[in-house]
Amino acid sequence: MNINETKNFIVKLAYFLESSVQYNKIKQFFYDLLENDNYPYKKYFDFFMIFVILSSVTLLVMDVKHHVPQWLDDLDLYFVTTVFIVEYILRMWVYSDIHKIVIETHEEAVFFSKPLKLSNVFKKVLKDKWEYMTTPSAIIDLIAILPSYRGLRVLRVLILFRAFKMLRYTKSLTSFLEVLKNKKFELITLLTLSGFFIFIAGIMLYVFEGNDQNQNIHNLFDAFYWALITISTVGYGDISPVTPEGRVVTMLIIFTGIGLISFATSIIVSSFSERLTMLREDRIVQNISKKESITVICGFGLLGRLVAQELEKEGVSFVVIEKDSDLAEHAYSMGYKAICADATREKVFEQLKIKSNISHVLCLTSDDIVNIFIAVNVKSLNKNVHVAARCSDEEVAQKMYFADVDQVIMPEEIAGMMAAVYVGEPVAFEVLLSIIDQKDKIQIDEIEITAGSLGDGSTLKELQLESLRVILLGILRGSKRKDPEFIFNPDDDFILQEKDNIVCIAHQAAISNLKRKMQ
Amino acid sequence: MQGKIIIFGFGSFGRHLYKHLKPIGKQIIVVVDKNNYTEALDDEQIDIQKINIKQNDNIFDLGIDPRDDVVYCSMDKTAHNLFLVLSLKTLYRQLNIIAISNSFENARKLRYAGATSVIDLYEATSRRFVHMLTKPAVMKAIDEIIYKENNLKMAEITLPKDSPVDKKHLSQIDFKTHGIVLIAIIDTERGRELSFVDHSIDHKLDSGDTLVVVAQKENLEKFRTYLERK
């Protein structure tokens, strides 16, 4: 095969791989398994890897004082190493697509009417894969394979790098490193400062006591070791100053050490407190995005709080989005899943997978304009999400309906209607409050007629609701339709159908009893 | 119809309240605080009185009749409503006061101050949002009975003397033929307590008993006429 034939073969192979459904499926599967946190089977792979790593480290520890059976040693050598090598290669494979580089370079060459240079392709591929190989996690992966070479005993210690590999599989450990990474500048400053003090103090002590005055200081290394142990406030006491000058240096370095440790603690603590909310929210988003039919409450003011309390009682799965960090924190402290984010932006809804997982969005902020903004944002992302909004102004309500909001609810209107009932009819008003507030054991409720249940095809007379101590208000027919029909006070010979809803007022116990019977 | 309606405050809630009270046909006086008064409130159609709510004399001048009048405290600030309830109760012990509140906590304070009834602005709204998600049929029923302006109505009927149902037990009356759903009753024989008619007690009806019913307006009128028959 000459060079041109090789080039043609590589290009053809690249196009074949690009169009092969099977190949892309397999690659996607391995990508999901190794890298995609939302892939349901990834956690099983992670557990398996953690198990393999822990077994390997246990064998290393056991080997210190006990004889490990040969078969276990072989298992560690062949099986574990094979798993690690395969994993390393797979990760490198899924990191990028070689065939895409080939196609890109080929098309570039065709565009400029130049021959394809294989050396260019190799350079690009190598650069791409080298980029992966030099990432910290890939380096750890590679070092973790090395202990398999038994010729050098010291390499056995590198098995501990296998423990570092666990960082890949446990999110909380990765999060910890993320926190430190964010304080890189402060930590480097701290490290430089510490290094500077250790350097100065070490040299000073060596100058004062290194010339045989102190039996424990043999060289500069001893002096640096002493400075580090002292500045970190550990103070083993194996090396201690004997001259007044040395003691003065010690006193100074102890004060500096206290300062540096406080500095380090404050950096890490502040970094954690800053990141904690974000980490928590990431977890909430991940948990929620796996569920279906989520309700989103936007705004955690007075109304948002009440709705959240009621939804929790009803067992509805929901998440709160609140822009104000204090209110979001308050929602979290009340035990709700809360995210501090701007609901007028698409980012948070994309994270919660609005296209597939969100069923209802409630816009409950106290600002009508913000509510419209949120509603339009949601509807523009997914028209099928049911959006309900709170509104205080009738003119704004019209605009909300124009923006396709499914339900507009006006607190002042509702309260105004209720309050108007009082005039001339205070007893009816009391009943009304009691039914709407549901504070008493008497409740208004609905029971759906399911196919084949007791109610399906029966007349109301046959159900004998009175003997079940239930007050029938009416039947809702076609509840799944856009405009269902409420049949008030139907006759005794009214025949119930599947999916009808009986709306009634009764004691909680009577309703539970009726629901049981209907099942 | 005797008695007038006095609405304190003409903010967002006050306006909605006025809109729903107007069709009742009673005299309505809207009272606003002189200190927070804006020209925009002036409306020839509405009887707006501007007073200093801190002055008892100003409140006296409104000519409130504590037996027949109903007062709504719907100022924008709960603190003002609380102050008003206290002032009105000190001046008129018998007065029926309905106050608006924005939280359960404030509702408790307003009741303590003497409000006959307190409407929580957000309680019913939150329930409505929740019903929308969990009990759509209930929401539709409540809409039809309470919120929609249609024929269906919840009402109370006080039984007149010697009505056709006098001395009869509930089990002897077929409310269905009258197109009426009986929900609750104040059976004066048993006291002034309101009880829901869940068929656990076969109440005996007497004059003075109060029935709370849901019915179409025309059926309600027919039933009232029927009860007037001797």
Residue B194 is predicted with a pLDDT of 84
- CATH of region B151-228: 3.30.70.1450
**% chain A with pLDDT above 90:** 29
User: What torsion, rounded to 10 degrees, do the Cα atoms A402, A407, A408, A409 define?
Assistant: 170
Instruction: For B175, name the nearest residue in chain A, comparing CA atoms only.
Output: A489
Tokens (6 digits) for A185: 């500048």
Among A175-189, B149-163, B200-214, the minimum mean pLDDT is found in: A175-189
Amino acid (1-letter code) at residue A357: N
> Is residue A459 classed as helix, strand or coil in its secondary structure?
strand
Burial grade of A266 (CB within 10 A; 0-12, 13-18, 19 or more): exposed
Among A49-53, A63-67, B7-11, B72-76, the minimum mean pLDDT is found in: A63-67
**Contact state of A488 with B155 under an 8 Å Cβ cutoff:** no
Q: CB-based contact (8 Å) between A449 and chain B?
A: no
Residue A254 is predicted with a pLDDT of 92
Q: CB-based contact (8 Å) between A413 and chain B?
A: yes
Instruction: Count contacts between A and B (CB, < 8 Å).
Output: 217
Average pLDDT over residues A9-18: 90
**% chain A with pLDDT above 70:** 94
Domain residues of chain B, as ranges? 5-121, 151-228
Q: A240-297 pLDDT, tens per residue? A: 999 999 999 999 999 999 999 898 888 888 887 777 777 777 778 877 777 778 899 9
Confidence of residue A149 (pLDDT cuts 50, 70, 90): low
**Contact state of B1 with A424 under an 8 Å Cβ cutoff:** yes
- CATH of region B5-121: 3.40.50.720
**Contact state of B72 with A419 under an 8 Å Cβ cutoff:** yes
A141 and A91 Cβ atoms separated by less than 8 Å: yes
Q: Is the pLDDT of residue A419 over 90?
A: no
What distances in angstroms separate CA B34 from CA A407, B47, B82, one per listed residue?
37, 15, 18
Domain residues of chain A, as ranges? 3-169, 184-275, 291-409, 441-518
Distance (Å, whole) CA A404 – CA A397: 11
DSSP state of B77: S
DSSP state of A294: E
Q: Is the pLDDT of residue A152 over 60?
A: no
Q: CB-based contact (8 Å) between A72 and chain B?
A: no
Which member of B20, B135, B179 has the closest CB to residue A445? Answer: B135
Contacts of B117 in chain A (CB under 8 A): 422, 426, 429-430, 433
Instruction: For A470, name the nearest residue in chain B, comparing CA atoms only.
Output: B198
Return the residue matching tokens 């309900």.
A388
Residue A155 is predicted with a pLDDT of 61
- To the nearest whole Å, the CA of B43 is away from the closest chain A CA by 19
**Contact state of B198 with A506 under an 8 Å Cβ cutoff:** yes
Most confident region among A331-335, A436-440, B53-57, B102-106 by mean pLDDT: A331-335
Burial grade of A37 (CB within 10 A; 0-12, 13-18, 19 or more): exposed
Contacts of A316 in chain B (CB under 8 A): 130, 133-134
Q: Is the pLDDT of residue A198 over 90?
A: yes
B89 and B111 Cβ atoms separated by less than 8 Å: no
Residue B125 is predicted with a pLDDT of 87
Average pLDDT over residues B10-36: 85
What distances in angstroms separate CA A61 from CA A55, A66, B35, one per listed residue?
10, 9, 82
- Which of A318, A406, A438, A446 is the mutation pick for testing B, counting most B CBs within 10 A? A446
Instruction: For B73, name the nearest residue in chain A, comparing CA atoms only.
Output: A419
Average pLDDT over residues A407-414: 89
The CATH superfamily holding the domain A441-518 is Regulator of K+ conductance, C-terminal domain (3.30.70.1450)
Contacts of B122 in chain A (CB under 8 A): 302-303, 306, 411
Q: Is the pLDDT of residue B84 over 70?
A: yes
Residue B23 is predicted with a pLDDT of 84
Contacts of A486 in chain B (CB under 8 A): 137, 140-141, 144
Residue A57 is predicted with a pLDDT of 80
Average pLDDT over residues A336-356: 87
Average pLDDT, chain A: 86
Tokens (6 digits) for A429: 């008003």
Residue A173 is predicted with a pLDDT of 67
Q: B173-229 pLDDT, tens per residue? A: 888 888 999 989 998 888 888 888 877 788 888 888 999 999 998 999 999 999 887
Task: Indicate yes or no: pTM above 0.80.
Answer: no
- CB neighbours of residue A195 within 10 Å: 12
Q: Which CATH architecture has domain A291-409?
A: 3-Layer(aba) Sandwich (3.40)
Residue A184 is predicted with a pLDDT of 84
**Residues β-bridged to residue A501:** A448, A476
Contacts of B17 in chain A (CB under 8 A): 415-416, 419-420
Instruction: For A295, name the nearest residue in chain B, comparing CA atoms only.
Output: B133
Residues 6+ apart with CB under 8 A from B199: A466, A467, A469, B170
A267 and A183 Cβ atoms separated by less than 8 Å: yes
Tokens (6 digits) for A407: 């339900």
Average pLDDT, chain B: 86
Return the residue matching tokens 């709960």.
B78
Confidence of residue A205 (pLDDT cuts 50, 70, 90): very high
Q: A207-248 pLDDT, tens per residue? A: 999 888 888 888 999 999 999 999 988 888 899 999 999 999
Return the residue matching tokens 């056709």.
B164
Residue A331 is predicted with a pLDDT of 92
Among A355, A239, A368, smallest CA distance to A298 is for A368
Residue A336 is predicted with a pLDDT of 92
Average pLDDT over residues A406-415: 89
Which member of A436, A476, A489 has the closest CB to residue B137? Answer: A476
- To the nearest whole Å, the CA of A486 is away from the closest chain B CA by 7
Average pLDDT over residues B32-60: 77
Return the residue matching tokens 């103090």.
A201
**Contact state of B183 with A471 under an 8 Å Cβ cutoff:** yes
Among B168, B166, B167, B201, smallest CA distance to B185 is for B201
Which member of B130, B145, B214 has the closest CB to residue A310? Answer: B130
Contacts of B196 in chain A (CB under 8 A): 431, 442, 471, 505, 507
Say how many residues make up chain B.
230
Contacts of A511 in chain B (CB under 8 A): none
Residue A226 is predicted with a pLDDT of 94
Average pLDDT over residues A389-414: 90
Residue A387 is predicted with a pLDDT of 94
Contacts of B100 in chain A (CB under 8 A): 415, 419
Residue B145 is predicted with a pLDDT of 83
A103 and A18 Cβ atoms separated by less than 8 Å: yes
Q: CB-based contact (8 Å) between A510 and chain B?
A: yes
Average pLDDT over residues A100-107: 89
Distance (Å, whole) CA A447 – CA A501: 5
Contacts of A306 in chain B (CB under 8 A): 122-123, 125-126
Residue A460 is predicted with a pLDDT of 86
Confidence of residue A154 (pLDDT cuts 50, 70, 90): low
Which member of B123, B136, B196 has the closest CB to residue A306? Answer: B123
Say how many residues make up chain A.
519
Helix (H) or strand (E) holding B226: helix B217-228
- Which of A367, A386, A387, A412 is the mutation pick for testing B, counting most B CBs within 10 A? A412
- To the nearest whole Å, the CA of A427 is away from the closest chain B CA by 7
**Contact state of A420 with B180 under an 8 Å Cβ cutoff:** no
Q: Is the pLDDT of residue B122 over 70?
A: yes
- Which of A390, A431, A487, A504 is the mutation pick for testing B, counting most B CBs within 10 A? A431
**Contact state of A316 with B119 under an 8 Å Cβ cutoff:** no
- To the nearest whole Å, the CA of A412 is away from the closest chain B CA by 5
Return the residue matching tokens 């913000």.
A370
Q: Give the class (CATH, top level) of A184-275.
A: mainly alpha
Contacts of B194 in chain A (CB under 8 A): 427, 430-431
DSSP for A407-422, written as a single string: EEE-HHHHHHHHHHHH
Residue A444 is predicted with a pLDDT of 87
**Contact state of B128 with A484 under an 8 Å Cβ cutoff:** no
Sign of dihedral through CA atoms A4, A6, A7, A9? positive
Residue A379 is predicted with a pLDDT of 92
If one compares B159 and A156, the residue with the highest pLDDT of the two is B159
Q: CB-based contact (8 Å) between A412 and chain B?
A: yes
Residue A249 is predicted with a pLDDT of 92
- CB neighbours of residue A515 within 10 Å: 14
Name residues 283-322 of chain A within 8 A of B (Cβ).
295, 302-303, 306-307, 309-311, 314, 316
